Amino acid sequence: MKEQRARQILEALVNGVDPLTGEELAPGTVLQHADVLRALLAGVCALEQMAARAQRRAQLPGNVGRAWTAEEESTLVAAFKSGDFLADIAARHGRTVRAIEARLERLGLLTPDQRSTHDSFAQPAPAGAPRPRPP
């Protein structure tokens, strides 16, 4: 069963409608119990989240999440040193600009201050703490 159809069925049940016939369900059915309705709504929400993740994944470049090869790194370094735009490099490598910047930072070619994107997992330093120097 496709996720969209499962969602339609759950939504019909939440609305008190038989998903197969379209008729209103009889009053007093188990589907009108608060816990059952909450569970059905949780299922609808989970299916919506799955669809949103799948749509986002489909829009990402092809190499997102893949390990970098030595050859790909050397091509990246050469393109960066020759002054290519990061967006162009990202497109050629099938990666996001964030991934390109993260790899360049890891290779010591870019400092955190030079990035146009930011690491979403980095913890902010306490106020007044010295900034670490790049290697």
What tens digit of pLDDT does each residue of 91-131 get? 999 999 999 999 999 999 988 888 887 765 555 555 655 55
Distance between CA atoms of 89 and 78, rounded to whole angstroms? 10
Total-model pTM? 0.54
Are residues 107 and 73 in contact, defined by beta-carbon separation less than 8 angstroms?
yes
Q: What is the mean pLDDT of residues 56-73?
A: 89
Distance between CA atoms of 83 and 127, rounded to whole angstroms? 35
The token duo for 101 is 């910047």
Percent with pLDDT over 70 in the chain? 87
Give me the DSSP letters along the chain.
--HHHHHHHHHHHHTTB-TTT-PBPPTT-GGGSHHHHHHHHHHHHHHHHHHHHHHHHHHS-TTTTPPPPHHHHHHHHHHHHTT--HHHHHHHHT--HHHHHHHHHHTTSS-GGG-SS--TTPPPPPTTPPPPPP-
